[in-house]
Amino acid sequence: MFRDVSSCNTYNYGDALYWDSRYIQEAGGAFDWYQRYSSLRPFVRNYVPTSSRVLMVGCGNALISEDMVKDGYEDIMNIDISSVAIDMMRRKYEFVPQLKYMQMDVRDMSFFSGRSFDSVIDKDMQMDVRDMSFFPDESFDSVIDKGTLDSLMCGTDAPISATRMLGEVSRLLKPGGIYMLITYGDPTARMPHLNRPAYSWNIVLYNLPRPDFKRPGGGSSTKSNMEPIPITEKGTLPADFVLEDPDSHFIYVCKKDG
């Protein structure tokens, strides 16, 4: 398993300095990678109850968490490696109690940076951050990842970073919990990382065209996006499966054995 360059360019998407610089340049804007919540909603609502405690990894300045709250979700913890993004989003959603923000590296979510401590802990509580474990095992019902694993796969230490991140995701999920990965990576590139016995995940795969995709001739699709795609024993797409959109996104729904 090597560095996945299928959706990479000259930027190092695994570098915190890149993201800090980008969010400073965007100066308070908002951007949703890959898909907006309106497109993902059928999948999210099907697998993630609104009462779930949700972890949004690599939240950036996206609107998906805000949209989920508007849709009835009650508890979403958002983390990102960029302190610029976290500080910006904390200010933006200061009065939205359903949304919490912490600066954290997805490759080690037992480590707490301390910069966003007052966003999750009452300021009057006298606690030593070094004595706290963020996050303990089985802390979340669901983890949503929209492009974060892809970012790590663009780094020079991609296989190690991916293993560390997915190990942490598995650790944090409760039995029966859901890891929902939205990615450019097809099964050939992603299943070797996801389908490891240590994670105990049952995986269902979906495919979703880009929001701006237009079919040749303007016709409508005969396929339902909610129909799972079978995966071969080798972890590949069936030989007769044809992608309507060559640059479409894959949704891996990984359920932890309960």
| Tens digit of each residue's pLDDT (9 = 90 or more) over 218-235 | 666 667 889 999 999 888
Does any domain span residue 144? yes
Does any domain span residue 10? no
> Which pLDDT does position 156 carry in this prediction?
75
Does any domain span residue 22? no
Does any domain span residue 156? yes
Question: Which residues is 75 bridged to in the sheet?
Answer: 53
What SS3 class is residue 177?
A: strand
Closest by CA position to 251, among listed 221, 208, 209: 208
Does any domain span residue 122? yes
> Which pLDDT does position 223 carry in this prediction?
73
How much of the chain exceeds pLDDT 90, in percent?
A: 59
Q: Which domain holds residue 133?
A: 29-210+225-256
> Which pLDDT does position 27 carry in this prediction?
65
- Say what the pTM is: 0.85
Does any domain span residue 175? yes
133, 123 Cβ separation under 8 angstroms: no
**In this structure, what CATH number is given to the domain that contains residue 172?**
3.40.50.150
In this structure, of 31-35, 75-79, 224-228, 233-237, the range with the lowest mean pLDDT score is 31-35
99, 123 Cβ separation under 8 angstroms: no
Tell me the mean pLDDT in the region 204-211: 94
Our count of domains for the chain comes to 1
